[in-house]
Amino acid sequence: MFIQMDPPRHDAQRMSVAPRFTPRSLAELESLIRQRAADILDGLPRGETFDWVEHVSKDLTGQMLATLLGVPLEERKQLIAWSDILGSSDNPELVPSPEVFYNTLADVGEYFSELWNARIDDEAPGFDLISMLAHGEGTRDMGPREFVGNMALLITGGNDTTRNSISGGLLAMHRHPNELAKLRANPSLVTNMVPEIIRWQTPLSHMARTATQDVELHGQRIKAGDRVVMWYLSGNRDPEVIDDPGAFRIERKSARHHLSFGFGIHRCLGNRLAEMQLRVLWEEMLKRNVDIQLDGEPERISSCLFHGFSRMPVRVLN
Measured between alpha carbons, how far is 233 from 92 in angstroms, rounded to an integer? 23
Burial (CB < 10 A; 0-12, 13-18, 19+), residue 97, is: exposed
171 within domain boundaries: yes
Beta bridge partners of 220: 217
Q: Strand, helix or coil at 186? A: coil
208 within domain boundaries: no
How many separate domains does the chain show? 1
Whole-number Cα distances in Å, 187 to 27, 44, 231, 255: 20, 22, 32, 17
Q: What pLDDT was estimated at residue 258? A: 93
Nearest to 64 by CA among 23, 24, 104: 23
14 within domain boundaries: no
Q: Is the pTM of this model over 0.85?
A: yes
Exposure of 306 in the CB half-sphere (CA atoms within 13 A)? 27
80 within domain boundaries: yes
197 within domain boundaries: no
Q: What pLDDT was estimated at residue 279? A: 97
CATH number of the structural domain spanning residue 143: 1.10.630.10
DSSP string, 159-183: THHHHHHHHHHHHHHHH-HHHHHHH
15 within domain boundaries: no
Report angle CA 67, 68, 70 to the nearest 5 degrees: 60
Q: Which domain holds residue 51?
A: 26-184+269-316
Do 224 and 250 meet the contact criterion of CB atoms below 8 Å apart?
A: no
Measured between alpha carbons, how far is 284 from 198 in angstroms, rounded to an integer? 19
Exposure of 258 in the CB half-sphere (CA atoms within 13 A)? 29
32 within domain boundaries: yes
Per-residue pLDDT tens listing for the chain (318 residues): 334 433 323 333 344 444 456 677 888 999 999 999 999 999 999 989 999 999 999 999 999 999 999 999 999 999 999 998 988 888 888 889 999 999 999 999 999 999 898 888 777 778 888 988 888 888 888 888 898 888 998 898 878 889 999 999 999 999 999 999 999 999 999 999 999 999 999 999 998 999 999 999 999 999 999 999 999 999 999 999 999 999 999 999 989 999 999 888 878 878 889 999 999 999 999 999 999 999 999 999 888 888 999 999 999 998
Q: Within 10 Å of residue 290's Cβ, how many Cβ atoms?
A: 14
